[in-house]
Amino acid sequence: MARLSTPGARAPDHTSLNLTRLISRLQNTLLEPDAETSHRLRASGFERRKVEANLEYAKTLLLRLGQESPSVKPQPNKQDAQSDLQIKKRQLDALDARLHELNAAGQEYDDNASSEGEDLLGEDTPSESVGDSHTPAAGDTTDDDDADYQQILSERRAAAQATQTASQPQNARDELFPSSLRARHGDASAGVDTAKTTSSSTSAPITESLMKHHRAEQEELTTSLLSMAQALKASSQSFSQTLESEKETVNRAGEGLDRNVTGMEAASKRMGYLRQMSEGKGWWGRMMLYAWIFGLIFKRQASSTHLNPPWTNPTMSSILVLGAGELGTEVLKGLAAHPSSKDTQINVLLRPSTISSTNPSKAADVAAIKALGITLVPGDIVQSSPVELAQLFAPYHTVISCTGFIAGPGTQMKIAQAALGAGVKRYFPWQFGVDYDVLGRGSAQDLFDEQLDVRDLLRGQSSTEWVIASTGMFTNFLFEPSFGVVVFGGDDGNGTVVRCLGGWENKVTVTTAQDIGILTAEIVFVEPIIANQVVYTAGETISYGRLATVVENIVGKPVKREEWPVEWMEGELEKDPRNVLWKYRVVFGKGKGMSWDEGQTFNVQQGIRTSDVEEWARDMVNKKLGK
């Protein structure tokens, strides 16, 4: 059946696909045949003619594609199509050459073949059908085979002619495949003369019908694949749109689950605290808890009979500061000097041994505190239980913890639990440092995880207001020789070393202890009141590279710069896992949560001046040199 090249009869894509498949089958038959197929091709001239007919049809398809290629747009697609045609033409030339070789080999095979050779189609030879021992001569050829062969070739060639337009020359096919022209006029005729005699039962109409059926199956398969691809694309787009529409719902659900987990953890900790209060010390602990409850009841009854001492009705006029170390002393000074504190009773919790100490230095510190009009309250944070601490905290409206990590692990959590158990109205935990929320858990400094436990505990309740002051590193710690970041040389500055932790672009936020004391007092008394939030302060946020330049400006000469990579510091920590300084160095070297923008700080927003690094360092160096 002829294939017409009318517009719209078949898409160029289908023609190219059919040609590709036909070439693939021909390559398998001619170039990579198995043993049986190879034998059949050499032994049967009729089989070679069928292959030649398919090869002729493939050339017809290639010619059709060549006629349609000039109309392909855009230009890149046209170039790709022409390149593909060149490749297919070379493939067909190779197949044509191989068929020519097989025809020649078939002639030799026929000359030497035995009369007992099996026919390619498994049918009886003429000699076998008559039952005699006659062996056909090598050059004999039956008229039926020649007729079948000529009919197949004539139909294929008619199909090729039908695909050409009237304006194209008849010899276009021969110009495209000159080797085919030679095969038809020279080698093909020789092959006919030397072909083995067979009695084929396959007629040309049957062959054409089979090929038509195969083409219909190929076209149906191609159409099915295209439909499946389009359906898959539509399904993917629909699924993507569904995911995008549900994204908001999934995010809200995740946030709700996170809040539920946080609330459950806080509730668990509160239950643990109550269990510890009631059962932590067995029978004696429960008795102390009951005594404390009865004591509170008695105090309430006393207030109703006008026997109310100042501490039974906590107001803003009662503040208790825990500790009078480096930070505690500055906070006490800041509170005492604040204009809003004139009607406020400021108290400080000190160990009894410190209050009664005869050590000249400690005695002088205690006297200086008393001179500020501050009341001393005896108590021991480390030795007292949460119940005992709660009894100490109960009379005060605000508790400010200035007891740092020197008290050991678990202390900050115990103080927070006692503050909540005492029912204080406002609590400032010891969080004067880095941004623990950003830092997260599992850092090299294991004590920092307890700070997050304290935050979770405070955020999980609503009876006590809390304020966290994130101040960054104390400025003087940056210049602490044991810390190793800035190490001054002699009085002339020679030998001064500045080391960066992690990298010279790493930044750290610092605030002096004096500024922390002043800013804490401002946060306590500011209106409107600050509650249940983290407040940031900063003397300066400085990089280690800038720090080295500042030190050079102070000493008046270049300094030695050394970089401590995080990996190296982690190795040193592994050698000495209990070394607190290496823990701090690794954490600050990684830089996470160690710095923040000065513009978001309380002091900048309130217009409160603070000391930067260079100002503090110059003052420190001048004092050291007696200037």
The Cα–Cα gap between 454 and 467 comes to 12
High-pLDDT (> 90) share of the chain, %:
43
Higher-scoring residue by pLDDT: 506, 229: 506
Is residue 342 over pLDDT 80?
yes
CA nearest 58: which of 85, 39, 31, 76?
85
CB 399 within 8 A of CB 423: no
> pLDDT digit string (tens) for 109-121?
666 654 444 444 3
pLDDT band with cut points at 50, 70 and 90 for residue 303: very low
High-pLDDT (> 70) share of the chain, %:
70
pLDDT band with cut points at 50, 70 and 90 for residue 479: very high
Orientation angle between helical segments 204-279 and 45-68, nearest 10 degrees: 70
Give the mean pLDDT of the chain: 78
The residues with which 319 forms a beta bridge, in sequence order, are 346, 398
Average pLDDT over every residue of 39-56? 83
Give 117: exposed, middle or buried? Use CB within 10 Å, 0-12, 13-18, 19+: middle
Higher-scoring residue by pLDDT: 319, 261: 319
Is residue 84 over pLDDT 60?
yes
Is residue 604 over pLDDT 60?
yes
CA nearest 585: which of 496, 516, 488, 508?
508
pLDDT at site 21: 86
Most confident of 22-26, 152-156, 288-292: 22-26
Is residue 134 over pLDDT 50?
no
pLDDT band with cut points at 50, 70 and 90 for residue 489: confident
pLDDT at site 316: 59
pLDDT at site 131: 41
The Cα–Cα gap between 12 and 65 comes to 7
The Cα–Cα gap between 390 and 273 comes to 12
pLDDT band with cut points at 50, 70 and 90 for residue 401: very high
Average pLDDT over every residue of 285-310? 52
| Cβ neighbours, 10 Å, residue 121 | 14
Would you call 250 helix, strand, or coil by DSSP?
Answer: helix
Is residue 143 over pLDDT 60?
no
Higher-scoring residue by pLDDT: 35, 147: 35
Average pLDDT over every residue of 51-70? 83
The Cα–Cα gap between 368 and 290 comes to 39
CB 585 within 8 A of CB 569: yes
The Cα–Cα gap between 337 and 374 comes to 11
pLDDT at site 261: 64
- Beta-carbon contacts of 341 under 8 Å, excluding residues fewer than 6 positions away, are 335, 521, 525
φ, ψ at 542 (rounded to 5°): -130, 145
Residue type, 401: S
pLDDT at site 153: 54
- Beta-carbon contacts of 323 under 8 Å, excluding residues fewer than 6 positions away, are 348, 349, 350, 381, 401, 402, 403, 404
pLDDT band with cut points at 50, 70 and 90 for residue 191: very low
Would you call 398 helix, strand, or coil by DSSP?
Answer: strand
The Cα-based distances of 486 to 88, 495, 540, 606, 623 in angstroms read 76, 11, 16, 31, 17
The Cα–Cα gap between 148 and 197 comes to 13
Average pLDDT over every residue of 9-21? 70
The Cα-based distances of 170 to 93, 160, 312, 449 in angstroms read 20, 10, 118, 90
223 Ramachandran zone, left/alpha/beta (phi>0; psi -120 to 50)? alpha
pLDDT band with cut points at 50, 70 and 90 for residue 197: very low
The Cα–Cα gap between 436 and 454 comes to 11
pLDDT at site 141: 44
CB 295 within 8 A of CB 322: no
Instruction: Give this prediction's pTM.
Output: 0.52
Is residue 3 over pLDDT 50?
no
Would you call 533 helix, strand, or coil by DSSP?
Answer: strand
pLDDT band with cut points at 50, 70 and 90 for residue 212: confident
pLDDT at site 5: 44
The Cα–Cα gap between 200 and 188 comes to 19
Average pLDDT over every residue of 487-495? 81
Higher-scoring residue by pLDDT: 507, 70: 507
Average pLDDT over every residue of 496-516? 96
CA nearest 145: which of 106, 180, 193?
193
CA nearest 540: which of 595, 608, 468, 470?
595
The Cα-based distances of 533 to 131, 266, 426, 428, 600 in angstroms read 111, 17, 12, 11, 14
Average pLDDT over every residue of 18-33? 85
pLDDT band with cut points at 50, 70 and 90 for residue 335: very high
Q: Which helix (H) or strand (E) holds 426?
A: strand 426-428
The Cα-based distances of 376 to 358, 361, 365, 366 in angstroms read 16, 17, 12, 9
Q: Which helix (H) or strand (E) holds 344?
A: none
pLDDT at site 198: 44
pLDDT at site 512: 96
pLDDT at site 452: 95
Is residue 252 over pLDDT 80?
no
pLDDT at site 170: 46
**From 249-258, 375-384, 506-515, the region with the lowest mean pLDDT:** 249-258
Higher-scoring residue by pLDDT: 565, 9: 565
pLDDT at site 317: 77
CA nearest 368: which of 319, 329, 325, 342?
329
**From 106-120, 444-458, 479-493, 520-534, the region with the lowest mean pLDDT:** 106-120
CB 351 within 8 A of CB 380: yes
Structure tokens at 204: 């040309």
